[in-house]
Amino acid sequence: MRFFDLLNNLHIFMYLFPALGFILVFGLALAYSHFRSQGDQQRFIEIAHRYPEGLESRDAPFPLAMTMIIIATVVWAFFYILFVGISGLVI
């Protein structure tokens, strides 16, 4: 039994909700690969740069999944710092 019962709720918040958020982001990543616009097909085909040894780069749209994962990581870090600071726990 823990000395502080509120610590159990804090651990559930810090471990369960980021995992559920990641599952949601991963599901959206499987459904949509990127934001769709009119010039996407041309950007996938058109080669922007050619590098030595046959490497080519394209100006393809940034994947939606990566955008959401980066945003979710920043939001989680902010709230983690906020709640640990409010509760007064020593990390």
Q: Domains of the chain: which residue ranges?
A: 6-86
Check if the beta carbon of residue 25 is closer than 8 Å to that of residue 1.
Answer: no
Confidence of residue 78 (pLDDT cuts 50, 70, 90): very high
Structure tokens at 39: 């010039």
Percent of the chain having pLDDT more than 90? Answer: 2
pLDDT at 1 over 60: no
Instruction: Return d(Cα 62, Cα 25) in angstroms, integer.
Output: 15
Q: For residue 49, which amino acid is it?
A: H
Tens digit of each residue's pLDDT (9 = 90 or more) over 9-46:
777 777 788 888 888 877 777 666 666 677 777 777 77
CA-atom Rg of the chain in angstroms: 20
Check if the beta carbon of residue 65 is closer than 8 Å to that of residue 56.
Answer: no
